[in-house]
Chains A and B, each alone.
Chain A
Amino acid sequence: MLETRYRAARALPLATLPRPAASGASVSVRPAGAESRFSLRARLGGGAPTLAGLPLDAPINTVGTDGEVWIARLGPDEWLVGGPEADADLLQGRIHEALAGLPHALVDVSHRNVGIDVSGRQAAAVFNAGCPLDLSETAFPPGSATRTLLGKAEIVLIRAAAAPLYRVECWRSFSTYVHGFLNEAVFGAEGAVAP
């Protein structure tokens, strides 16, 4: 049998935009590069498997990261796992290893998802232009991650670290909308006029 390992070269949808990054004094929006991501569905039962030293049975709507790999628990039986693009096969193997013996579904969604990083003091205000979630320190502390809505598009909002740095994961076909929405919101938050 002929086995073909084929990884499509990726053309990121936001890479060709005439104005890829909006940055101001207090907030900046920057499309992230290519990464590998997996959608994981499993019923843990009583088990508590760990992946890259991070427990899968962490509370719902939290994210854990070891610096490279991050695991966001979006629901009782759903996780979004991300890591460096080159480690896609490695990460896949580690997930299967961690969940050996447990029925689970693992889907590579690296090309479906597009990441956008929003950082700066006003980042929460920018999201609140289209997302009614409470993003204050008490309601959405570092280590939070959730699926929600931004304007009309579904996003996954991840806040891994204490710094005001948020990662938006949206679907590829929504990415120009989400990116445009965030850019507009930056101009609103900065008090400037869009060019």
Chain B
Amino acid sequence: MLLIACPHCGKRPETEFRCGGQAHIARPADPMTVDDGAWSEHLFVRANPKGVHAERWCHVHGCGRWFNALRDTISDRFIETYPMGAKPTQFPQSETRA
């Protein structure tokens, strides 16, 4: 059983969680000024790194809150979890803010 540390509830079984894809993707402030290429990039293009990946997770069958997590896609190990709006203490390069 893979345990994931929810920032509110502590370590809980993986089955209680749901993954929400890549984290830290900022929506363009004014979408009208963005051309089609950049807009489709924002909507559809995601990183698929081999290594540390920043993801959004939701403790859907627990406290119901979203949070961020750094996960190593090779070992499937969770390096760190941190609340929404916070920054990871490790691997700052994993942040892919637009």
Contacts and interface: CB of A to CB of B under 8 A. Distances in A.
Range, interface on chain B: 10 to 19
A61 interface: yes
A146 B62 contact: yes
Contact of B9 (A60, A78, A154): A60
Main secondary structure of the interface of A (DSSP, over half): strand
B11 to A, nearest CB: 8
A61 B15 contact: no
Interface in A145-160: 146-149, 154
Interface in B25-39: none
Range, interface on chain A: 10 to 19
Contacts of B9: 60-61, 146
Contact of A147 (B1, B13, B15, B62): B62
Contacts of B65: 75-76
A128 to B, nearest CB: 11
A149 B14 CA distance: 11
A76 B16 CA distance: 17
Interface in A52-67: 60-61
A75 B16 contact: no
A148 B16 contact: yes
A135 to B, nearest CB: 12
Given A60-B9, A61-B9, A76-B8, A132 B1 contact: yes
Interface of B: 1, 8-9, 12-13, 15-16, 61-65
Interface of A: 60-61, 74-76, 78, 132-133, 146-149, 154
